[in-house]
Structure 1
């Protein structure tokens, strides 16, 4: 059994977590000041989103120096203090690795001798589109050639076909591991192998070769590390290969199947109602597919997703119950759960009134392109409010005070006004809060092997109201129930009465609105 199978990861988006110097932007010093909070929650690993020097075109995912800290976040010395503080509290640190692309302000991109470290062509060889709107090939007026950028035009894609690129990246990764970090979350890592002729950039022809080479060059001979690959458009079958320990590539992948179920086939902005049986089929397929080989990552929220309680639950009257239910259902699956900052408080989507309230390049570009194409500005704004990434990036709500205790200055993006009621100070003081529910779930994963390693069986797969499954290991069984409606529900599960020991929630198979329960026998 690998250590991460019983671990829980907490993601910090440093720009929005805690500001220690009053400039309105979160920083590493702010994280240091909240380490005891993380220790009380009980998480095992902190995943730190980018803190490197960056022009901040994509909020730090456009890196201009892989081996330093952006002054807005601190210094390498402050980073070392943060790392030591986590280790002293028994927590590991995983940092974001963004190596599909750099910033166009990275010295590599500006060095004529490294031109073949990127994708340059005299004419665009295909019609690829950027994920952030517009063509993926950008004309450089100075040279008259085009460079590839699958994301922002300020994020040119690295050419992994060049072995010098790969060795420079592996050397940088070893440098961070030697400094003491415990692994990497690898941003869109399954895009690094591209075939321009056939139009393939998801899971390209050399992707397994590259990841195995990375493992051999960086991770081999080191223990206790974590390698997580963010992989859009990855299938269960491909994930089995990526996460098979015998192949030595990555430990787990982030897949996007379940967070696309409330979207149309062509656009995340085409929002549909979530159908619970479809969610069960998706999760069930991944639970079964990685049961004997590999490992699942489990998440509702992250820096790229709207707040789960607003998206999949109820952020009004039943917010607390819905937040607890979503946590119960997710954390008791087989896999490693990820908690995004504020999720443990039941933080909600924010009330964005106008396009001026948004900061994210993806949302701003989509708005401009959609309105120019004839869409109603009000309709576009409605979609942005529901699905925009800025929902996850409003500041962490620490207190009911001005700016939620996030900063003494003016925050870079407005704080959600509901911080007066939803904040960490109040949640920690309330034993029945969402925070303490998360703390209890994390304790259960640490103490009950059936949660970390037990078999998974979906129950009531076609029920449109209740998510139900069982876990079993060595004669011990768990039953998990989640009511995804605002109405009371009574369920019947063969062999279960609800009189068994209640780990989460009250006894009985009657569920209140948005209630979650878990039983053991």
Structure 2
């Protein structure tokens, strides 16, 4: 058993975590100032989203210099101090790394634009026009065509994401060596691992289809998701960087089936430590479309989670367990009740998550039940993806009010409002003007929550400690109970003679459920446990973790 399988990861979006110098943007010294807080919570790994030099068109995921810290966050000396202070507290640092694309301001791309004969031209994916059009009809994940025309070259370059983020050509061995050299630079600095952004997209089909213009239903992902050489490339990374440095690695694997995720994370294959997948947080997409007012069914959510739990366990894969991150709206607002039953809802999500097999992730603010930003005007948004989606909705006939409601439900900006440390001005995040301003008046903050009885922060502390010592939660098999129950999510974890039963009422109505065996309460979000004969009474949004030992 690896230590990272027993540990809990805390994700920091540095821009919104803690500002130390009053410029309204969170920074490295702000993170350092909160390390004791994270240690007190019980965190042993921190994942920090990109802090490299970047023009900021995608909040740092458009990297212009892989080797330098962006001045808005501090400098290399600050980062080295962060590593030292984190390690002093037995906290490991996982850096976010983007290897699918760079910023168009990266020196490689600037050189690539100079000439087709420039050696850096082949670091990217350029294609000639086809019948005066783009090479094919692939769609950017940020809306519009995935191809951008360069008149001086009479070629298009591929950008699966923003137009300012050209995709790298991983078929070029020189490019791969540059990447491994850069990753080794950070390993030598003393980091403890990488979270690899959209890593399953790095291998594009050698012959990109040029006839898909006639079939606009295909957005192109079948030709680049989990591509032909992706496992070969990641295994090469493992041999040259991950293995020698004993790294913890997390692969973001969007649109990846469990059969592929097993390949990425089975330790015998020497690729990644764990899989970060999104099927469960797409459960409220209407007909698979994100930018809609969607509703979810608990039965669908249970089916997705259960499929991954069972198959990853059977095939020795490993899950990253999460409800929230910087790219997702807050789960408490999305799936439960962030108003009357806010505390119960936050604790319910924690119980369900920590009861599953995998490494749990807490996204900043989740431990104090932060909720969606609920912006009311498009001018309040900074995120390019959200703004593009809004404009596309209006273009397609959606009225402004509905478009804003869709963003309130689905925009990733919901999770990016600054961390709420106290209830002073700007919630103690900054003495200046926050880069993204909250419009809410919310009395939930680190200070107020920790001073309240039976609080969410303490509940997370207990769960983190429990997981470290309970091998059933780490190694046990998983079994879903009552598949068709659309109100209560119940499952069992089993190891040897121990069974742990998790029951969670996802409604505001009292639910009665039959439990045949005698279980003892490990913990619950109401603090107690009502059972008469074989019937358990679950109050609104109640979650229980119960244990039974045979023999």
Q: TM-score, normalised by structure 2?
A: 0.92
Structure-2 separation of matches of 1:279 and 1:6: 25
Deviations 1:203-251 (A, max 9, x none): 111111111111111123332x211100111001111111111111111
SS in 2 for 1:62: coil
SS in 2 for 1:68: strand
The more displaced of 430-439 and 158-167 is 430-439
CA distance change for structure 1 residues 88 and 431 in 2, over 3 Å: closer, same or farther?
farther
| Aligned 1:72-111 pairs, distance under 5 A | 72-111=72-111
| Structure 1 equivalent of residue 398 of structure 2 | 375
Structure-2 separation of matches of 1:460 and 1:440: 28
SS in 1 for 2:499: strand
Name which of 119, 123, 126 aligns with 1:120. 126
| Structure 2 equivalent of residue 481 of structure 1 | 503
Say if 1:503 and 1:519, in contact at 8 Å, map to a contact too. Answer: yes
Say if 1:394 and 1:416, in contact at 8 Å, map to a contact too. Answer: no
| Structure 2 equivalent of residue 430 of structure 1 | 452
SS in 2 for 1:283: helix
Offset at residue 272 of structure 1 (A): 2.3
Q: Which runs of 5+ in 2 are unaligned?
A: 113-117, 210-219, 531-535
| Aligned 1:42-191 pairs, distance under 5 A | 42-112=42-112, 113=118, 114-123=120-129, 124-191=134-201
Say if 1:5 and 1:453, in contact at 8 Å, map to a contact too. Answer: no
Offset at residue 448 of structure 1 (A): 1.2
The more displaced of 212-221 and 130-139 is 212-221
| Aligned 1:388-407 pairs, distance under 5 A | 388-407=411-430
The more displaced of 502-511 and 135-144 is 502-511
Offset at residue 79 of structure 1 (A): 0.4
Structure-2 separation of matches of 1:197 and 1:119: 10
SS in 2 for 1:152: coil
Structure-2 separation of matches of 1:492 and 1:266: 35
Say if 2:7 and 2:44, in contact at 8 Å, map to a contact too. Answer: yes
Structure-2 separation of matches of 1:75 and 1:396: 22
| Aligned 1:231-380 pairs, distance under 5 A | 231-292=253-314, 293-380=316-403
Offset at residue 368 of structure 1 (A): 1.6
Structure-2 separation of matches of 1:159 and 1:502: 51
Offset at residue 49 of structure 1 (A): 0.2
Deviations 1:259-286 (A, max 9, x none): 1111023421123211111111111100
The more displaced of 261-270 and 228-237 is 261-270
Say if 1:39 and 1:89, in contact at 8 Å, map to a contact too. Answer: yes
SS in 1 for 2:362: strand
Offset at residue 255 of structure 1 (A): 1.1
| Aligned 1:197-212 pairs, distance under 5 A | 197-198=208-209, 199=220, 200-212=223-235
Say if 2:141 and 2:160, in contact at 8 Å, map to a contact too. Answer: yes
Offset at residue 111 of structure 1 (A): 1.3
Q: TM-score, normalised by structure 1?
A: 0.97
Say if 2:187 and 2:245, in contact at 8 Å, map to a contact too. Answer: no
Structure-2 separation of matches of 1:29 and 1:262: 38
SS in 2 for 1:84: helix
Structure-2 separation of matches of 1:109 and 1:431: 55
The size of the alignment, in residue pairs, is 517
Name which of 477, 502, 525 aligns with 1:455. 477
Offset at residue 472 of structure 1 (A): 1.9
Structure-2 separation of matches of 1:287 and 1:294: 9
The more displaced of 110-119 and 397-406 is 110-119
Offset at residue 351 of structure 1 (A): 2.4
SS in 2 for 1:338: strand
Are 1:464 and 2:491 matched, yes or no?
A: no
SS in 2 for 1:301: coil
CA distance change for structure 1 residues 469 and 208 in 2, over 3 Å: closer, same or farther?
same
SS in 2 for 1:190: helix
SS in 2 for 1:290: helix
SS in 1 for 2:46: strand
Are 1:520 and 2:547 matched, yes or no?
A: yes
SS in 1 for 2:523: strand
CA distance change for structure 1 residues 265 and 170 in 2, over 3 Å: closer, same or farther?
farther
Are 1:228 and 2:234 matched, yes or no?
A: no
Say if 1:299 and 1:337, in contact at 8 Å, map to a contact too. Answer: yes
Are 1:444 and 2:466 matched, yes or no?
A: yes
CA distance change for structure 1 residues 275 and 151 in 2, over 3 Å: closer, same or farther?
same
Structure-1 separation of matches of 2:475 and 2:293: 35
Say if 1:395 and 1:416, in contact at 8 Å, map to a contact too. Answer: no
Name which of 242, 256, 266 aligns with 1:219. 242
Structure-2 separation of matches of 1:353 and 1:277: 32
Say if 2:375 and 2:439, in contact at 8 Å, map to a contact too. Answer: no
Structure-2 separation of matches of 1:67 and 1:211: 21
CA distance change for structure 1 residues 312 and 77 in 2, over 3 Å: closer, same or farther?
same
Q: Which runs of 5+ in 1 are unaligned?
A: none
| Structure 1 equivalent of residue 522 of structure 2 | 502
Structure-1 separation of matches of 2:266 and 2:456: 35
